[in-house]
Structure 1
Amino acid sequence: MLHTSQVLPLSKISLTDWQLIKVSGVDNSKFLQGQLTSDMNKLTDKNFLFAAQCEPKGKVLSNMLLFKQGDDIYYIERESVVDTQLKELKKYAVFSKVTFNIDTDLTIIGIAGNSNHHQLTEIAGLFNDAQNCTSLNDLTYLRINFPTPRYIIIGKEHDINQLALVKECQVQSAEQWALLDLEANYPIIDMPLTNEYLPQAFNLQNFDAINFDKGCYCGQEMVARAQYRGINKRALYLLAGQSEKLPVIGDTLEQKMDENWRETGRITATLRLNDQSIWVQAILNNDLDTDTIFRVKNSPTSQLALKQVK
Structure 2
Amino acid sequence: MQNNSNIYLSNKLPNMYMRLHGWSVICVKGLDKKKYLNNQFTIDMNLIDKHDYKIGAHCNINGKVWTSFFIVKYNDCYLYIVRSSICKKHLYELKKYSLFSKVDIFEDNNFHLFGLCGRNLDIILKNFFSISFNKCISVIKRDYFIFLKINQPINRFLIIVHENQVKKFLTVMKYAAALSTSTQWLALDIEACFPIIDKKISGRFILQSLDLKKWNAIDFNKGCYYGQEVLCKYENKRINTFTVCSLISNDSLFNPNIGESVEYLDNESGDKYHVGIVLSWVYIYSKRILLQIRIKKNFLKKKNVFFIQSNPFVKFTLFTR
- TM-score between both structures, scaled by the size of structure 1: 0.94
Tell me, in whole angstroms, the C-alpha distance in 1 between the residues paired with 2:188 and 2:70: 16
Q: Please, which of 253, 259, 270 is the counterpart of residue 262 of structure 2?
A: 253
Q: State the 1:183 CA deviation.
A: 1.3
- Indicate conservation of the 8 Å contact 2:253/2:288, yes or no: no
The aligned residue for residue 297 of structure 1 is 309
Counterpart of 1:127 (choices 126, 133, 137) is 133
The one-letter amino acid of 2:199's match is M
- The match for 2:123 is 118
Whether 1:280 and 2:288 are equivalent positions in the alignment is: no
1:22 is the counterpart of 2:27 = yes
RMSD: 1.8
TM-score normalized by the length of structure 2: 0.91
The worse-fitting range, judged by mean Cα deviation, of 174-183 and 90-99 is 90-99
SS at match of 1:300: strand
1:13 paired to 2:24: no
Given the alignment of the two structures, is residue 87 of structure 1 paired with residue 92 of structure 2, yes or no? yes
Q: What displacement does 1:289 show?
A: 4.3
TM superposition shift of 1:161 = 3.7
Alpha-carbon displacement from aligned partner over 1:133-187 (angstroms, at most 9, x marks no partner): 1111321111111111111221234524424751222111110001111111111
- Report if aligned partners of 1:32, 1:40 keep a CA contact under 8 Å in 2: yes
1:167 to 169, 174, 184: 174
CA distance in 2, matches of 1:146, 1:298: 30
SS in 2 for 1:13: strand
Gaps of 5+ in 1: none
Give yes or no for the alignment of 1:238 onto 2:246.
yes
1:71-91 CA-to-partner distances (Å, cap 9, x unmatched) read: 201110000000111111111
- Equivalent residue for 1:52? 57
Shift of 1:192: 0.6
Aligned residue for 1:36, secondary structure, equals: coil
Query: Residue type matched to 2:297 in 1?
Result: N
CA distance in 2, matches of 1:117, 1:42: 26
The counterpart of 1:153, out of the listed 159, 168, 174, is 159
- CA distance in 2 between counterparts of 1:176 and 1:132 reads 21
2-structure distance, mates of 1:124, 1:54:
39
Deviation at 1:120, TM superposition (A): 4.1
Secondary structure at the counterpart of residue 106 of structure 2: strand
**C-alpha separation between the residues in 2 aligned to 1:259 and 1:124?**
60
Deviations 1:14-46 (A, max 9, x none): 211000010011111111111111110111222
2 CA distance for matches of 1:295 and 1:273?
Answer: 18
SS of 2:34's partner is helix
In structure 2, the residue matched to 1:225 is 233
- Quick check: 1:61 aligned with 2:72? no
Structure 2 distance, partners of 1:304, 1:10, is 28
Unaligned regions of 5+ residues in structure 2, if any?
1-5
* Secondary structure at 2:320 match in 1: coil
Number of aligned residue pairs: 309
CA deviation digits over 1:81-110, x for unaligned, max 9?
A: 001111111112122111111111111111
Cα distance in 1, alignment partners of residues 253 and 285 from structure 2: 14
